[in-house]
Amino acid sequence: MFVDVAKIKIKAGDGGNGAVSFHREKYVAAGGPDGGDGGRGGNVIFVADTNLSTLLDFRYKKRYTAQNGEGGKSKRCSGKNAPDLIIRVPMGTLVKEAATGRILADLSTPEPAVVARGGKGGWGNTHFATPTRQIPRFSKPGLPGEEMEVTLELKLLADVGLVGFPNVGKSTLLSVVSAAKPEIANYHFTTLTPVLGVVRVGEGNSFVMADIPGLIEGASEGIGLGHEFLRHVERCRLNVHVVDVSGVEGRDPIEDFNAINRELENFNEELASRPQIVAGNKCDMASPEQIERFAAFVREKELEFYPISGATRQGVDELMQAVSRRLAQLPPIRQYEPEPAPAATELPANARAFQVRVEDGVYLVEADWLTSVLGMVDPEDFESLQYMHRVLTQAGVIAKLEEMGIEEGNTVSILNFEFDYVK
């Protein structure tokens, strides 16, 4: 089964928590804090694998989670960094953020791409020791790893794409110019999946050609099979438009030519402007008048036209030579650049955003970023509580509570952590 689109969830590992520890050794008085830092969480890395040709595996496994970093230890020993999670995909796969469509990585080269980064490890209590706070009984928790839903989209890496209506001879043409063996039969939609073949034109000169399943009118709107595979033409540097000039199926080759170009333009305007060579196939079954009529039409479009017969190889070598010459003048296969994340100019403010509401006399403070703060607070330790108070003051939470008329003795609840307000 050929699968070229999949949606999965990925989660990088969380950073390990910092340790709260104090040096204990005979004859060593006041050893002080020696809690080590937590290890980094594992990254989620995508790697292109030439041995894969489909995204079928991702249809059955939908969630990929990297390991968390190890927690810090005593004697200033840091926890181990977690190993990275390697996800292998076919060459030519695009990784997109599912929610926005933003391109995160283009796996068209062997270069690995880090898509989700693991969280940093938290600090041990060693970092919080000061001349006035010599016994810190709190540490910093590790930061969470990045988590997101991504869409994997396979776009074949081919220099040339064969486009045209079903049953015009695209598969036959590919089979005679390369070692590819697509299924060939005299009925529509014989080709159900894209097929790649390597075409060699002389010594040391070759290119990759893709047989794209036949398009029909309305394909860009979801009619037929071709719309599912139009994405595979997007990387092609050159399109070879195969048209049946014989009209044996009762269709007009000129109308077929215009219809296919309309579908390409409706799907992606750039595809319609892509360099194109027109191959008039089944010339062995067409009359000279039919061939000349279509050739004149193509010349009016200022496009190269080559009459061929895939079944008898008539004109095929000349067509491949023309394709090779044209490719030599074109830029390499398109690679998509990762799109940057939205501007982070307001992230610091948003990162400390919070809401305060009153229910039954209790002041409820809601803020996701407070989760990590509470994770390092020891309610039994005065210095730890002082640290939390400083964070709430700097973030403006205390000022907001006073603005809302909080009185001494009122209850404040932060993520189910409750305490009495004291001025």
Spatial distance between the Cα atoms of 42 and 142, rounded to a whole number of angstroms: 12
Instruction: Please say whether the beta carbons of 11 and 63 come within 8 A.
Output: yes
Q: Evaluate if residue 115 carries a pLDDT over 90.
A: yes
Most confident of 21-30, 336-345, 380-389: 21-30
Q: Where in the chain is the domain with CATH 3.40.50.300?
A: 160-327
pLDDT at 184: 54
What confidence tens digit (pLDDT) does each residue in 195-232 have?
888 898 877 788 998 887 766 555 445 544 445 667 77
Q: Where in the chain is the domain with CATH 2.70.210.12?
A: 1-154
pLDDT at 380: 66
Structure tokens at 173: 């043409």
Burial of 184 (0-12, 13-18, 19+ CB in 10 A): middle
What confidence tens digit (pLDDT) does each residue in 125-147 have?
888 787 777 778 778 888 889 99
Q: Evaluate if residue 297 carries a pLDDT over 70.
A: yes
pTM: 0.70
Cβ atoms within 10 A of the Cβ of 346, count? 10
Most confident of 10-14, 71-75, 346-350: 10-14
Indicate the pLDDT class of residue 346, thresholds 50, 70 and 90: very low
CATH number corresponding to 160-327: 3.40.50.300
Residues whose CB falls within 8 Å of the CB of residue 40, separated by 6 or more in sequence, listed in order: 13, 15, 16, 69, 81, 82, 118, 119, 120, 121
Spatial distance between the Cα atoms of 317 and 209, rounded to a whole number of angstroms: 14
pLDDT at 305: 94
What confidence tens digit (pLDDT) does each residue in 299-331 have?
999 999 999 998 889 999 999 999 999 999 998
Q: How far is CA 416 from CA 16, 220, 367, 400, 409, in A?
A: 23, 53, 12, 19, 17
Q: Which CATH architecture is the domain 347-420 placed in?
A: 2-Layer Sandwich (3.30)
Instruction: Please say whether the beta carbons of 245 and 291 come within 8 A.
Output: yes
Q: Where in the chain is the domain with CATH 3.30.300.350?
A: 347-420
- Tell me which of 150 and 171 has the higher pLDDT: 150
Q: Which CATH number fits domain 1-154: 3.20.20.450, 3.40.50.720, 2.60.40.10, 2.70.210.12?
A: 2.70.210.12
